[in-house]
Amino acid sequence: MVMDRISMILVIIGALNWGSIGLFRFDIVAWICGGQDAVVARVIYTVVALAGLWCISLLFRRREARYES
C-alpha cells in the first residue's frame, strides 16, 4: 500500500534524524528549517510522528495483507 511505504520512509528519516541528534547533537531537520521552533520544522516533526503512528498498524495486520500489491 502506498501509505505504508510513505510512512516507512518518513519513519526512517525520523530515525536518521534522531540518530544524528544522539551521536552528534545535530538536528538535521532544525538545521534545514532554521531551528526547532520554525513552523516548517514543527510540521515535519508532526508528519513524521503521524507516520510512526501509522506504522504501528503494520504490526497488527495479517501477514498476507502486508504483501498484497
Domain that holds residue 44: 2-66
d(CA 60, CA 65): 10
Phi/psi-derived region of residue 34, left when phi > 0, alpha when psi is between -120 and 50, beta in every other case: left
Instruction: Report pLDDT for 62.
Output: 80
Q: pLDDT, tens digit, for every residue of 45-64?
A: 999 999 999 999 999 988 76
Q: pLDDT, tens digit, for every residue of 6-45?
A: 999 999 999 999 999 999 999 999 999 999 999 999 999 9
Which residue, chain included where needed, has cell 501509505? 3
Read off the pLDDT band of 69 (50, 70, 90). Answer: low
For 68, list phi and psi in degrees, rounded to 5.
Answer: -80, 145
Q: State if pTM tops 0.75.
A: yes
Number of folded domains in the chain?
Answer: 1
Instruction: Report pLDDT for 41.
Output: 96
Instruction: Report pLDDT for 21.
Output: 97
d(CA 62, CA 35): 41
